[in-house]
Structure 1
C-alpha cells in the first residue's frame, strides 16, 4: 500500500519565536501601513513627487550616461593624439638606433684591423656622420635614459659617444668594450621608446605596439651579429666561445622574430615573400665560418682580403636589416592608421553624445510638465485603491505567517532561518552523531487487515506518542515514511558525545511507552516495534526546491537502518560504536547480542540496550 507521512501539530510558540505574529511584520511593513492610513494634501504632494521621480530619474540617468560617454570620447581623442605623437617621435629614435647599429659594426671592424687604412677610416667616418645627423632630431620621452644604472641626458650621451670615438681613433679601446658601449646605448633607447605610453583600447593597438618593440629588439640583435662577425672576419678568432655567443644572440633574435610573426601575420608574409633569402645566406655563412678548417683559411688571407670579406658580410646583412626597418616603419604607419580610425570614432561619439545631451535636456522639461498633469489624475485613483491595498497587505502577512509555520515544521529551526535569510543552505558534515530507526513489526500484515483510514489513525496515534517522548531530549525527528520513524541527535546542532546518551534515553522511553500499546483496530493485538541505533559521521543538507527536506546521508544512516531491520520485536539493537560512547556515562544496562551479519558490512558486533540506571544519572548531574 502507499506509504504516508503523519506528523502531529507543533506546539504553539511564544511572542519571541521567529514564527510569531509580531515577527512577521517588519519596520518597513509598519511604515507602509501608516503611510496608507495617511490622507489629505500632504499625501497628495508626496505622491506627486514620487511619480515625477519616475520620469526625472531616467532622464537624469540618461544625461549622466551621455555626459560620461562624452567625457570618455574626449579622453579617448586626447589619448589617441598623444599616442600618435609618440609614434611620430619614435621614428627619429629608431633612425638614431639604426645609425648607432651601423657605427657599432664599423667601429668593431676598424678596431680589429692591425693596419688602419684610409678606406676603413672613411667607412667609419661615414657611419659616425650619419649618427650625428640622426642625433639632431632625437628627443628622450623621459628627458633622460638609464645606461648601466646611470641616468644620462641627451647631451651627456653624445659626450660619451664622442669620448668613445676618441678612444677608437687612438686604438685605446677593445672591440668588446666598443660593442658593449653601443649595445648598452641602444638597449637604453629601446627601453625609452614607448615608456609610459597611454594607448587606447580596441583595434589590437597594444599587440601592434608590442610588434614594433619586439621587431626593433630583433633588428638590434641582428645588428649585433653583423658587428661581431664583421670583426671576426678581420681577426680570424673563430673559437668555441665566439660560437656560443653567436648562437645565444641568434637564438634571442629568432625568439623575438617568432613573437612578431605570432602577433602579425602580415609581417610574416612579407618576410616569406621577399627575395633577399636572408635565412639561406645566414645558414651558408654560419656553416662556412664555424667549420674547423675556416680559421686556418682565414689566417692565410691578407688583411686586405679579410677587410673585403668583412665588408661584403656587413653590406649583405645591412640589406636584411634595412628591409626589417622598412617593415618596422610600415607597421608603424598601420598603427597610426588604426589610431586615426579610433580618433574618428571618438569624434563621432563626441558629436553623438553632445547632441543627445541637448535633446535629453529639452525633452526632460517637456515630459516633466506633461507628467505633472498625468500624475495629478493618477494620484486620485491611487487614493481610491489605498484601502484595498491595506487589506491585501494584511492578507499577505497572514499567508506569509502560514508559510513560515510550514517551513519551520519541515526543517530544523536553525536550517529554516538560514534558508530564509540566505536562500541557500550548504550541506554540512558532522563528525559525530547518532541515528535512530524504528518500525512496526508485522506492519504490512496489519495493513492488509485494516481499512486505509484505520491505518492512518493507528500511525497518528503511535507517532503522537513518539513525538511526546522525543520532546524530552536533544534530538531531531528527520522523517516518517510509512511505519519507519527516523530520529537523530547531534544534528544540526552538535552536542559533543551526548548524542548517543539522548538517543538511547529516547529509545528506552519509546520502547517502554509501547509496552502495553494495543491496536485500536484489534483490541487483543499488541503493537511491537524494533529499534536500531548507530553512531558515526554524517552529512546533512536540504534537498529539493518545491518541497525541501532536511536529509541525512552516509554510512552511519545505512548502518542504523540495518541495526533496525536485523533487530527483534520489542528490543533495541545498537552497534559497538554507540556502545563505546555510552559506556563512559555508566547509565545504561546492555548485553552483547553477538556478531550479526549486516548487508554491505559483513559481520558486526551488536548489543541489546536493556535499561537505564536513573540513580547513576542523578549522581552525575549533582557533581
Structure 2
C-alpha cells in the first residue's frame, strides 16, 4: 500500500466510518443546536441533560402556577372590591334611612309651623325618636356642613349634629317664632350634605356592576327630597291661599327636579317601571296629587283652608310613602346583587384555590415521572452509545480490511453507488516481480513451508511499499504486481515512485533469508513499464480492481525477460526517468519479447550518487529476521487507541 493510499485510508476511515452517537452529538459543529451540550450519556453531560429535561416541564408548570396565582389574586382583589361595595351599599342604606327620616320630620315640622302648632296629623315627639334611632344606627358619619348664624360653614360630627338638631326641635316645639324659610333651610341643608356624601360614594364605585342601582337609589332619594321640599310650598299655598312669586318659582323648580330624578331612576333600573305603574294604579290619592299639583302650578289666589292643606299634606305623604316602597325594593335589589356577586366571587376563589392546590400537588409527581423517564432514556442512551461505539470500531476494522483489498476511493464509491465504471489512465507505471527459483523451492518444500515463506516476504514487501505513492494490485503465487498513477493520478511522479520502490525492494530482498532454508538468500526478478491502462472493478462476489491494456502485458514481459536481482525497464520508462532525472540506467540492448518482438530495454541500477551505498542506506531495519512482523494495517487493528 502506498503512502498516499495510506493517507486516503485514514481520511476515508474518518469519512465513511462516522456513526451518529452521543459522543458525536457532544462534539457536533456549531451549526447544530446541541453543539454546546456535553455528552448526555455519561458523567457531567448526563447530569446537565437531566437538569435540562427537568427544567423543560417545570417551565409550563411554573407558568400555570403563576397564572393561577394571578387569577386567584385578581379574584381576591375583586372580592375585596365587592366587599367594599357591600360596605358602601350598607352606608348608602343607612344614609338613605336618615335622609328619609329627616324628610318625614321636615314634613311634620313644616305642617306644624304652617298650622300654628297643630298636632292633628301626627306626634312630633314620636317622629323625632324615629329620626334619632336612624342617626344612632349609622355605622359611619359623613361630613355634614351647615351654615351658622354668622354666615360661616360649620363641619359637624355626629354628636354635635345631634345637639344642633335637638336645639332646633326645642325651638320649634316651644312655639318660638319659626318661619317656613328657616325650616326649609335647616332640613334641606342637612339632607343636601348627606346626599352629596352619597353621590361621592357612588362615584368611587363607578367600576363595579352595581353603580346603576346605586345611582337609581340616590336619584330616588333626591326625587323624594325635592318632592318633600315642593310639598312644603304646597301646604303653604293651601294654608295661606297663595304663594309669593319666589316661593311659587321654588315650587315649580323642585317639582320638576323631583319628576326628572324619578324618571332617571326608572331608566337606570328598568324593572322598577313596572313597580311604579303598580303604584300609580293602586294608590287611591294619585289622581288627587296630580290635581293639586296643577292647582298649585296655576297659583290662583284662594281662601286659606287648613282642611285642604291637611288633605294635601296627607296625599303627598302617601305618595312619598309609596316612593319609599320603591326605594326599599331598590335597596333589596342592590342587596341581592351584592350577595350574588359575593357568592360568585367566593365560588371563583374556591375554584382558584383548588386549582392552585392541585397544580402544587401534581407538579412534584410530574417532575418525578419526568425524572424517571429521563433516567430510563439516559440509561438506554448510554447502552446505545456503547453499542454504537463498538459498532463503529468494528465497522472501522472491516473498512480497513476492505481498503487493503481495494483502493480507498474505489471502495468508497463502490459502497455508495454499488458500481464503479472503468476509467482510462493515459500514463501509469506498472511493476512486476517474482521469486527466482520458486518452482525448485516449492518442489522441495511442504505446502505449509511455501505459504509461510510467501507470507513473510510479501508482508515485508507490503509494509515497505507504504512509503511510496503506489498501489499494490495483486499477488499471484510468487508474482507481485504494483502500480503507480492510479486510481488517484499523481502527474509524472508515478515513474520515480515505482523506480525508487523497485530499488528499495531489491535491496531489501538481498538481506532476506528463506525461513526453512537459512543458508539460501532470496533473489527476485523485477520489471517495469510506463504507458496507458484501463482500470475497473471486475466481478460482484469478491470484486477485484484489475488493470487492462498492453502496458500490463509489457510490464509482465519486462519481468519475465529480466534477470535475477536486476530491474528490467522499457525504453518508455527510461525516457520518463531521464525527464525527471536522478536515476542511473544501463543499456541492455534489443530483447526478443513474446508478442512484442524486439524491444530496446534497460537495467535500472540505482539513484544518482547512491551506487555503492544503496544496500546499506536503503535496507529497512524491519527486513531482519522477525517471525512476528506484520503489516501496518494489522497493527492499527490491534491498537485500540487508534479507534
TM-score by length of 1: 0.49
TM-score by length of 2: 0.48
Higher radius of gyration, 1 or 2: 2
